[in-house]
Amino acid sequence: MSLWFDETFQGRVRLGFHVTKTLFHGQSEYQSVDVVETEAWGTTLLLDGVYMTSVGDEYHYHEMLVHPALTSAPSIKRVLVIGGGDGGTVREVLRYREVEQVILCEIDRLVVETSQQYLTEFNVPWNDPRLKVLCQDGVAYLRDYVGEPFDVILVDGADPVGPAAGLFESPFYSACRARLQPEGVLASQTEAPTLMRDDFVRIVKTLRSVFPNAHPYFGPVPIYVCGTWSWTLASNASAALTPREDRLTQIEAGCRYYNRDIHRAAFALPNDLRKLL
C-alpha cells in the first residue's frame, strides 16, 4: 500500500504525509485511533484523522511541554499528566531523579494500549514504579480529586474539539489551580499561534483569568498543521520561568531539542501576539 494521508484543518488547510503502511485502525468510544508508517516521520499516531505524534518528530513537542515546567517548578515530586496516552510526556518527566510519583490520566484506554504496542520506539518506561496510569476523564478526575496536591500538572490534550475540549476551559484550569501546591506550576499545549490564533488567544486569556501568571512560549512541531506550536506555563509565582541549574545539568545533555538557550528564547513574544494578549 502507498498513499498520502491529509489532515484537513477547518476545511481551509491540508497537511499530508506519504504513508507506506497502515499498522492499526481502531475506534474507541471517544475517537478513531490510527497508527501508520509515514515516509517522513516513521511510526505515526493519529486521533480522529489528526496527526498527534510520530517517532521522528515527537521530541520537539514532548521536551517543550515538559522541561520548561520541570526545570523551573520549585518542587517536582508529584506530577500529574492529563492526556498524553502515547507516553512521550511521562517519559520526559521520569528522567528527573527528584520525581517521586507521576500519574498519567488519559481518557482513552485504546490510545494507551495502541501506543504501548506500536510506539515502542518512544522508549517509554511504562514499568517505572513511580508511574501510575489511569484511564479516565481528566476533567472529572481533577474536579473530584481529594488527595495530596500536585507540584506540577501537564496538560497534553488533543485539539480543543471532541474529547479534549474541556481541557481548555476555565472550570478545568480552576480545578488544576486548586489541586496544585501554592507554588505549583501548570504547563499546557495551547495550539498554533498562527492559523489557530483565535483559539490560542482565547486559551491564554482563559489561563490568565485563573492564574496570576500565564506565559506562552513557542517551538516547532513538524507534524502539526502550521508548524509553529505553543505551550503556556501558568503559576502563582513568576519565578517559575527561571530554570534551575541543578535540573538543567541533569537533563539538558539528553535532550534533542530543549536546552537553556531554547528555554529563554521560546518565551519571546512576537509583536502581533503581544498586542493581542
Please give the full DSSP string across 229-273, using - where no structure is assigned. Answer: EEEEEEES-GGGGSPPHHHHHHHGGG-SS--HHHHHHHTPPPHHH
Quick check: 82 binds ligand SPD (CB under 6 A)? no
Nearest to 107 by CA among 194, 171, 31, 3: 31
> Any idea what DSSP says for residue 224?
S
224 binds ligand SPD (CB under 6 A): yes
Strand ranges inside 48-100, DSSP E: 50-54, 78-83
Give 10's Cβ-side CA count (13 Å radius).
Answer: 10
156 is catalytic: yes
Whichever of 44 and 189 has its CB closer to ligand SPD, that residue is 189
Q: Name which position in 102, 156, 180, 204 contacts ligand SPD (CB under 6 A).
A: 156
Q: For ligand SPD, which residue of 68, 88, 163, 193 counts as binding (CB under 6 A)?
A: 88
Nearest to 189 by CA among 47, 41, 82, 80: 82
HSE-up of residue 260 (Cα within 13 Å, Cβ side): 12
Give, in order, the Cα–Cα distances in Å from 275 to each of 241, 265, 269: 21, 19, 10
Q: Of 34, 137, 156, 159, which residue is the catalytic one?
A: 156
Contact status, residue 91 vs residue 122, Cβ threshold 8 Å: yes
Q: Does 158 bind ligand SPD (CB under 6 A)?
A: yes
256 versus 264: smaller Cβ distance to ligand SPD: 256
Pick between residue 80 and residue 246 the one whose CB is nearest to ligand SPD: 80
Give the nearest distance from C-beta 14 to ligand SPD in angstroms. 13
- Site mask, ligand SPD, residues 48-77, x = CB under 6 A? --x-xx-------x----------------
Min separation Cβ 58 and ligand SPD, Å = 7
* Residues marked as catalytic: 156
Which residues of the shown chain bind ligand SPD in the complex (CB under 6 A)?
A: 50, 52-53, 61, 84, 86, 88-89, 156, 158-159, 189, 224
